[in-house]
Amino acid sequence: MHRHMSAASTVVALAALIGGTAPAALGAGTPTQPRVTALRPLTSAAVHTVRLITGDTVVVTGTGTAQTVSFQPDSDSPQGIARIDQNGAQITVVPEEVRSLLDSGALDPRLFDIDGLIAQGYSDGADLPLIVRGEHADVTLPSGAGKVRKLHSLKSAATRVAPTRIGRFWSGLRSRQKGASGKKLASGVEKVWLDGKVKATLADSVPQIGAPEAWAAGKDGSGVKVAVLDTGVDQTHPDLAGRVGEARNFTDADDAVDHHGHGTHVASTVAGSGAASGGKNKGVAPGAELLVGKVLNDQGSGSDSWVLAGMDWAAHSGAKVVSMSLGTSAASDGTDPLSEAVDQLTAETGTLFVIAAGNTGPGATTVGSPGSADAALTVAAVDKQDKLASFSSRGPRLGDDALKPDIAAPGVNIVAARAASTSMGTPVNESYTSASGTSMATPHVAGAAAILAQAHPDWKAPQLKGALMSSAKVLAGGAFAEGSGRVDVPASLGETVWADNASFGTVPATGSTAPMTRKVTFHNTADHQVTLSLAGDLQLDGGAVAPGALTLGADTLILPAGGSGDVDVTVTPDNATKAGTYTGTVTATGDGVTAHATVALNREQPTMQLKFKAVMPDGSPATAASAITLRDLEDSDQPPMSLRLGDDGVATAQVTPGRYTIFGHLRRNSDFVTFGLPDIEVGEQDVSLVADGRDARPIKARTPQRSELRSLTLSVGRKSDAQSIGASSTYVLGRAGGHQWALPSAKPKDGTFGMTVNWTLQSPPIVAKAQLPDGLLDLQAESFSFSGRFDGTRRLTAVDVGNGSEAEIAADDVKGKLVIVRWTTLAEMYNAVSRLAEAGAAAIMYVNTADERLPGSVPTTVPVFGVPKSRGDQLAQALTKRPVDVKLTVEKNPSYLYGLVRGEVDGIPADQTFAPAKEQFADIAVKTYSPAANPDDIVNSQDGWLGVSNITRRGTGSFTPMSFGTSQHVYVNAKNTQWQRIVLPGNGASMVSMLRPYEPGKAVTEEWYKPVQRPTSPVDVHVPATGMTPSRNDQEMLVQIPVWASPDGHFYEGASVAPGDVDEFRVYRDGELLGTTPYPYASIAGLPAQSARYRFELDAKRTQPWWQASTETHTAWTFTSTKPADVDWHTLPLLHADYDLAGVEIGSSVRPLVDHKLTVAFRGADSADSPLTKSSVEVSYDGGRTWQRPHAETTARTVTVGLRAPKGADSVSLRVKGENAAGSAIEQTVIDAVRVAD
């Protein structure tokens, strides 16, 4: 199977996590003072909300064993359809409207890589960072863009778009008035990339590459500027004193100082003096001048745009060499913005970019960006014995199988300068630290390039790169692992001849194997003619030489002074028949010269053609819009392949013999067929397969009460026993029209294969009945999403305006009437609805072109619904004879919902009708309180009930408009399922519950957004170091506390920082302040073993003017903690307070002059409750200015008091204190805990 590019896009500082090194964000070693570091705000390990560039929202919940991925279309989304592909934890979500833009290359696929966006912190309310390339140097960005950083030399601009402005930004990109089309963005915009994140990836190593011999010859890089783009530099370090000519900051950090440690380590490897070690740890080119660009922040990560700005500055600031020990963890084909910038700046300035290959080995095709650039000198890592490091990324390059990496250098256990107050790597002493990675190998090559540039000041990037590669020591690992070999400084200085390399790419195992010829050019930099003898061979990496596989067009080459000459290099695949990678060397010797060119070849394994034909239920071919996944059943590491159908409904793929599966969704227009072929055996012959939709069965759901479909999601997936992770393909159809079928399948031979279907249905928003002469005609109305609603029943006179053209509407008086319109196109519907709303229509009815349901979506204040053709025609016919009234019953908010999920893992069954009996449903009475006195102040709110099948461990759901201050019944089929609700206010804080089972036939009550809200750990999460459970191990504490949660602790805020929130979190140890973060999501690292008293303090305030209940909290948790006896994570013994206030009305208020009972229950975060030793409850009726202590009744774990708000009070505030026998204590104040009704 062909290789796939991974969707993850993080650029990392390429220091490998091996041999005792530690993650850069948390450091290593044990400093004397614990360090408090703010973690990226998380919703929890189980809930993430991602706003796509299209304005649509994706919500990921659960874990890898029980997960939902849900799609919430933006109100302006034309179709509300999206494709979801999952391979283990890798998730991509592609809305329907961007398919063609992705195919044309106008949009970066990383914009829809959900797990990548979450990993980089571009979720949960974060801005979306973008790089926009223009057709001209001065690109103009659409409205909605934030602060812009121009990248003129790249014809690009970087910006960040806030979630609330993404819709406007996307509308500008898609404006047809500005030249946008299905495959093209608006005029002036060529492409949009994600501004992805990048992260940072000597005593024996410097002599290993021969640098001291160069120093002895007077070559130490003097007069050469080397730019180091990294985490900054500690200029106070003795090894770097006087070495830095300029340091510039391109990040969001305060300065260019290295507070991480990676950049200082790299800079000293290039040009450190070794002063702190008496010269022992001297860098490769100690005479070079350093230009330091801080492109990674103090956590060791950065944005593509920071790196691009740093590259541009370095190349135009006189740097001969640029060292970049950073890159993406995902493989790149060299067409990403960083790689393209390397090629462009190299061609423009002649600067040599020396770049780390990456630390994602030992797999093949793992070289990331920007090391994948053609012009980059890409560096692999070897140990002190010149053996390839296991972590070092390998070639060939993704896509074209070009030769990468280019060269190797020492990168294992490299000792270099340690920045002050940092612990990156494994500290050796106060001045030095040891680290491993291609990050450490790269500055060795950059220093070698500086030495070579000193010897040849007129040389530019091609000459420097060629000479270093041609003189490298050839190693045994092969060209696709180590490039031309390990850098050899003396050899590079001693040579006057260098050569280009020759990559023959990939040779198919079958088909044409005719000999292939490439020209290799040898360059003579001497002032005299050179005669060279040539020899060459080709060897299977890890195997023997392949006789006759490589031949030369000549055995002698004469190079004139300062000139060059070519030799034909021919590879005969028939003499290199074994599958694998081959490395060849063309060696040139003579006249005191030795140089070599590297030849590389990848020979594929024998493959067979797999031909797949897809047929729809009506016999027509399925289209290219189908989602079809081909997956190897024996290899979890091999990513699934997406097959694309041609016009004839046929797709082909070349696969090696083995076991495969094909599954997905056939499609033609709005019709879908979910299918799967669970087991496909491919032997030594081609295979032809058919998915025949003519045998498919309609997918249907029935509920005990009349209901209307809100959303339908179809998912199909496969996992064999040999695979550690499963893969699935999902279509979120929303309320799309058309038909949905499933094609019955065979049972899988092993593992699981099947489908999951999720339905969300609701009480009919609109019921329309026409009064005809022979009685009432039920029009079978289907409401349009995002159209207007009113509560109640109205009797409207009907009027028919045909197709809804401007003339037809003008010809009738539509004001206050139900207007009948024939369906034509989506565009005409939008135009007609706009005209009719302006003309005062009371409601709009669309008649379908077929006798079936007509769902739709249109943002308008007028109720809009669709009806089947036969019903609409009956009404229209009656109108030709006499006036007709229509009784319209509308619900602004649904009185009931149904959530259904059906999962199958033993094949796709023939029976596709799902109709659970009434007793199989749980009845959930849901009250959603309003923190605003006027619920309409909470705008654009949506919620979703997300269902997971316990059988497939997968599921999803839909998000649809909802209102605060409402009650409804939710019925979920409870057998073998788990459910979760998520509420997403348009201008406020979301609230979520954990996935949980419900009991069939049982009624329960849930109260959301009910006062008293305050920070607490959820009662449903007790697993240390996951979700929202504060935990510690032998060295570190991890703190994640939701800032706002429901009184009983079951439902909590989905995003840690909501619009209008102002938070501060402080950590104390034995009374001493350790650090402060802007929210209670923190790492406290370097903990001492001794027992100590810790205190967490959190101040939180909501400034949204409409948020009028539980507006401000002040909480302090005090507890004792010591180093545990093992290295496992343990729950911290925080004490929490839960609140049960009787008599709270749905508007988050209590009545004045009425007695209300308040019970405060104290619980430990680890559920190991200890009895109370102290407790108190105080109340304030004036916003916390004065306090009183009512009579209290106490038990071992509760305090109960009575509240009676006086007339004229605006709110009730609470102050609670508690301490248990274990010594854990809480002090919590909630200002305006609950409003007092007028």
- Three-state SS for 918? helix
Q: Is residue 43 predicted with pLDDT exceeding 60?
A: no
pLDDT tens digits for range 438-490: 999 999 999 999 999 999 999 999 999 999 999 999 998 899 999 999 999 99
Confidence (pLDDT) at 511: 60
- Read off the pLDDT of residues 489-531 as tens digits, 9 standing for 90 and up: 999 998 899 999 999 988 887 666 789 999 999 999 999 999 9
Instruction: Show the tokens assigned to 618.
Output: 């009506």
Distance between CA atoms of residues 814 and 947, nearest Å: 43
Residues 401-411 as b/e (b if ≥16 CB within 10 A, e otherwise) read bbbbbbbbbbb
Residue with tokens 């070559």: 219
**Which CATH number applies to 766-890: 3.40.50.300, 3.90.550.10, 1.10.10.10, 3.50.30.30?**
3.50.30.30
The CA distance from 1116 to 1102, in Å, is 18
DSSP lists the bridge partners of residue 815 as 841
Dihedral angle at the C-alpha atoms of 852, 853, 854, 857, nearest 10 degrees? Answer: -160
- CA triplet 643, 649, 651: central angle to 5 degrees? 30
d(CA 1105, CA 269): 55
**What's the chain's average pLDDT?**
89
**Which candidate in 439, 503, 720, 1211 is catalytic?**
439
pLDDT digits (tens, 9 = 90+) for 1176-1198: 999 999 999 999 999 999 999 99
The torsion region of residue 99 among left (phi > 0), alpha (psi -120 to 50) and beta comes to alpha
Q: Which residues of 1084-1119 are buried (b: 16+ CB within 10 A; e: fewer)?
A: bbbbeeeebebbbbbebbbebebbbbbbbbbbbbbb
Query: 11 falls in which pLDDT band (50, 70, 90)?
Result: very low
Asked if 586 and 569 count as a contact pair (C-beta separation under 8 A), the reply is yes
For residue 609, what pLDDT is reported? 93
Mean pLDDT across 967-983: 93
The per-residue pLDDT for 957 is 73
Q: Write out pLDDT tens, residues 398-430.
A: 988 999 999 999 999 999 999 998 888 888 899
Contact 1057/1066 with Cβ under 8 angstroms? no
pLDDT of residue 1129: 86
4-18, 276-290, 569-583, 763-777: lowest mean pLDDT where? Answer: 4-18
Q: In the predicted model, what is the mean pLDDT of residues 242-261?
A: 94
pLDDT at 1055: 57
What per-residue confidence (pLDDT) applies to 17? 35
More confident residue, 34 or 470: 470
Active-site pick, 230, 234, 298, 1063: 230
More confident residue, 908 or 31: 908
Of the listed ranges 11-25, 698-712, 764-778, 1048-1062, the one predicted with least confidence: 11-25
- pLDDT tens column, 572-602: 998 988 888 999 999 999 988 899 999 999 8
Arithmetic mean of pLDDT, 19-47: 48
- Pick the more confident residue, 23 or 42: 42
Q: Is the domain 200-493 a CATH 3.40.50.80 member?
A: no
The whole-number pLDDT of residue 1035 equals 82
Query: Does 230 participate in catalysis according to the annotation?
Result: yes
| Phi, psi of 91, deg, nearest 5 | -130, 130
CA distance 603 to 510: 10
Question: Which of the two residues, 170 and 1127, has the higher pLDDT score?
Answer: 170
Please answer whether residues 166 and 85 qualify as being in contact, where contact means their C-beta atoms are separated by less than 8 angstroms.
no
pLDDT value, residue 1079: 84
The radius of gyration of the chain's CA atoms, rounded to the nearest angstrom, is: 34
686 as an active site residue: the answer is no
Numbered ranges of CATH 3.40.50.200 in the chain? 200-493
Cβ-contact 467, 596 below 8 angstroms: no
Contact 699, 759 (CB under 8 A): no
pLDDT for 16 equals 46
- pLDDT-based confidence at 180, cuts 50/70/90? low
Q: Average pLDDT, stretch 1219-1230? A: 96
How far, in Å, CA of 1046 to CA of 1110, rounded?
11
Q: What pLDDT does residue 369 have?
A: 95
Report, as an integer, the average pLDDT of 890-900: 94
Query: Model confidence at 7, in pLDDT bands (50, 70, 90)?
Result: very low
Q: Say if residues 122 and 104 touch (Cβ distance below 8 Å).
A: no
pLDDT value, residue 3:
33
1113/1082: higher pLDDT: 1113
Residue 175 has pLDDT above 50, yes or no: yes
Q: Predicted confidence band at 8 (pLDDT cuts at 50, 70, 90)? A: very low
Provide the edge-to-edge strand list for the sheet that holds 128-134. 148-151, 156-161, 128-134, 189-194
By the 10 Å C-beta count (0-12 exposed, 13-18 middle, 19+ buried), 1003 is classed as exposed
Q: Where in the chain do CATH 2.60.40.1120 domains reside?
A: 608-705+717-744
- Domain 608-705+717-744, architecture per CATH: Sandwich (2.60)
Q: Which amino acid is at 199?
A: K
How much is the pLDDT for 647? Answer: 95
Q: CATH 2.60.40.10 region(s) of the chain?
A: 497-603
Q: What percent of the chain lies above the pLDDT cut of 70?
A: 93
At residue 25, does pLDDT exceed 80? no
Task: State mean pLDDT over 686-701.
Answer: 97
Report the CATH superfamily, name and number, of domain 497-603: Immunoglobulins (2.60.40.10)
In whole angstroms, give the CA distance from residue 419 to residue 263.
8
Q: Is 262 a catalytic residue?
A: yes
pLDDT tens across 325-368, in order?
Answer: 999 988 999 999 999 999 999 999 999 999 999 999 898 999 99
Distances from the Cα of 1069 to the Cαs of 26, 421, 573, 1085, 1118, in angstroms?
Answer: 19, 20, 69, 13, 10
Average pLDDT over residues 989-1002: 89
Q: Could you tell me where in the chain the CATH 3.50.30.30 domains are found?
A: 766-890
C-alpha to C-alpha distances, 792 to 212, 745, 777, 863, 888, nearest whole angstrom: 89, 47, 19, 12, 8
Backbone angles phi, psi at 247, to 5 degrees: -130, 130
Per residue, the 3-state secondary structure of 629-688, as one string, reads EEEECCCCCCCCEEECCCCCCEEEEEECCEEEEEEEEEEECCEEEEEEEEEEEECCCCEE
Least confident of 32-41, 387-396, 806-815: 32-41
Residue 381: strand pairing partners: 409
Residues with Cβ within 8 Å of 476's Cβ and at least 6 positions away in sequence, in order, are none
Q: CA dist 160 to 58, 146, 156, 195, Å? A: 19, 5, 14, 9
Rounded to the nearest angstrom, the gap between the alpha carbon of residue 1040 and the centroid of all alpha carbons in its chain is 20
Residue 22 pLDDT > 50:
no
Residue 685 scores a pLDDT above 50: yes
- What pTM was computed for the model? 0.83
Sign of the C-alpha dihedral, residues 271, 274, 276, 281?
A: positive
pLDDT digits (tens, 9 = 90+) for 1146-1169: 999 999 999 999 999 999 876 556
Q: Say what percent of the chain tops pLDDT 90.
A: 67
Beta strands (DSSP E) in 200-349 are: 225-230, 244-249, 289-294, 301-303, 321-324, 326-328
What is the pLDDT, as a whole number, of residue 13?
Answer: 52
Catalytic residue among 48, 260, 262, 444: 262
Predicted local distance difference test score (pLDDT) of residue 1128: 84
Which of these, 991, 782, 799, lies nearest to 880 by C-alpha position?
A: 799
